[in-house]
Amino acid sequence: MARRCPQLHLAGAIAVVTFLTLDGFAAAQDPAGRFGRVVPLEGAAQTKAGVELLHDQDRRVDRVRWGRSELRLSRPVHTCKVGTAAGGRLLVILAGGVHAELSLYLASGDGELRRYSTGGGRLLSRAFNGAASFWPAVEGRHLVLFGFARNADQNPDVELRALDFDAPGGVRVLASRRLPPTASGWTVRHDRDDGLVRIDIDGVKDPTQRQLEFRHPLAPVLRASSGQLQFGEHRPGTQTRRDLWLENPGSRPVKGLRLEQPLPTGFELAGSMPDTLAPGAKHTLAVRFAPRGPGTFRGPLRLTAEGGRPIAPVELIGSAVVESRRAAPAPVAPPAPVVQ
């Protein structure tokens, strides 16, 4: 499923704000501002779209109230624009002045209010006060895709970032790409089979820079407890077993789990493998090493799931050694007699 994003405006601070979900992209360009109304600052504090701007004694904006939360800007500013989106879950603050900044606030899935700022001393375009636009989602969670323009007088550029607001420990950058001034827009595609999000960028001459790809945070995931299983040395004809933990830390079940190819010679599964692994579930996969002859045995254990999505392989390593018969020790000659 693909979603075409509008043309980039390099003079604008935000080029596009889009939510992505596993069930497809629910995005809407909204000129009327029903979902992403921009609240301009003009004199006294205002309340629109549930957002209230508060001033300090010098009539600079220093706080923003949003629902039951009060957000304090990193520094008071004279110019500020605020937009809300996705049913009020996303709050975007563009604070202008000498030290311009762009901040995103999102109520995460667990109800925690999380903040992400462009930081790093990035200055927004001088023209952002009149050019800020929002294309918010009607619904969505977890993933926000946005671009922002930086104008250093003669060298404007655009950076595209994908953020996971529900990542453990805080907001996580899933992918980013700095775009040349020739970038004119992008198309977002989401493959539900492999869980990958692919962004095709228009107006870029370098073919290696035309696409940005990353895994959706809600995509089915399967990971093993180790990337390698060591079985050590054993005699031919004997057996030994090692356990491997399979875990699905994602939010959707992994279905159609199976071996992509037979196990390497000398190795075999010692138990069953489930067809489906539910979100948060773990499964012990037992592997048996049963060499029939001497030698070193190694090779990958490859798993795949529904849709042909491969799982990271696990390397199996073992060796079989034949005990050599020790030769009988040579007789020790008696000591020569001592001649007086």
Provide the whole-model pTM.
Answer: 0.50
One domain for residues 31 and 150:
yes
One domain for residues 307 and 169:
no
Most confident of 79-88, 156-165, 283-292: 283-292
Domain presence at residue 336:
no
One domain for residues 75 and 184:
yes
Domain presence at residue 333:
no
Domain presence at residue 260:
yes
Measured CA to CA, the distance from residue 17 to residue 19 in angstroms comes to 7
One domain for residues 11 and 86:
yes
* 336 exposure class (CB count in 10 Å sphere: 0-12, 13-18, 19+): exposed
One domain for residues 44 and 189:
yes
One domain for residues 102 and 149:
yes
Are residues 265 and 297 in contact, defined by beta-carbon separation less than 8 angstroms? yes
What 8-state DSSP symbol labels residue 322? P
Domain presence at residue 10:
yes
| Position with higher pLDDT, 316 vs 13 | 316
Which residues, at least 6 apart from 122, have a Cβ–Cβ distance to it below 8 Å?
Answer: 101, 102, 148, 150
C-alpha to C-alpha distances, 309 to 45, 101, 131, 199, 269, nearest whole angstrom: 52, 40, 42, 19, 21
Structural domain count of the chain: 2
Ranges of beta strands (E only) in 265-313 are 267-269, 276-277, 282-289, 295-301, 303-305, 309-310
C-alpha to C-alpha distances, 187 to 7, 16, 160, 165, 193, nearest whole angstrom: 10, 12, 12, 22, 19
Tokens of 46: 């205002």
Q: What is the CATH number of the domain that holds 241?
A: 2.60.40.10
Which residue reads 């399967």 in tokens?
222
Measured CA to CA, the distance from residue 63 to residue 54 in angstroms comes to 5
* Tens digit of each residue's pLDDT (9 = 90 or more) over 240-252: 999 888 887 766 7
Tokens of 31: 């000129």
Measured CA to CA, the distance from residue 42 to residue 84 in angstroms comes to 18
Lowest-confidence segment of 43-57, 197-211, 267-281, 312-326 by average pLDDT: 43-57
Measured CA to CA, the distance from residue 280 to residue 260 in angstroms comes to 23
Are residues 208 and 293 in contact, defined by beta-carbon separation less than 8 angstroms? no
Domain presence at residue 253:
yes
Measured CA to CA, the distance from residue 212 to residue 190 in angstroms comes to 12
One domain for residues 65 and 197:
yes
Helix or strand (DSSP H, E) at 273: none
One domain for residues 293 and 146:
no
Residue 20 is predicted with a pLDDT of: 34
Domain presence at residue 326:
no
One domain for residues 202 and 248:
no
User: Which residues form the domain of 286?
Assistant: 223-320
Ranges of beta strands (E only) in 180-291 are 185-191, 196-202, 211-215, 223-224, 228-234, 240-247, 254-255, 258-259, 267-269, 276-277, 282-289
Q: Which of 192, 215, 238 is at the close of a domain?
A: 215
Q: Which of 215, 238, 270 is at the close of a domain?
A: 215
One domain for residues 159 and 52:
yes
Domain presence at residue 246:
yes
Which residues, at least 6 apart from 137, have a Cβ–Cβ distance to it below 8 Å?
Answer: 18, 19, 25, 26, 27, 28, 35, 85, 86
Residue 17 is predicted with a pLDDT of: 38
pLDDT at 8 over 60: no
* Tens digit of each residue's pLDDT (9 = 90 or more) over 257-290: 888 889 999 999 998 888 888 878 888 889 999 9
HSE toward the beta carbon, residue 234, CA cutoff 13 A: 19
Q: Which of 204, 207, 188, 206 is nearest to 196 (CA)?
A: 188
Q: How far apart are the first and last CA of the chain?
A: 106
One domain for residues 135 and 279:
no
pLDDT tier for residue 25 given thresholds of 50, 70 and 90: very low
Domain presence at residue 337:
no
Residue 164 is predicted with a pLDDT of: 73
One domain for residues 175 and 249:
no
Q: Which of 189, 215, 241 is at the close of a domain?
A: 215
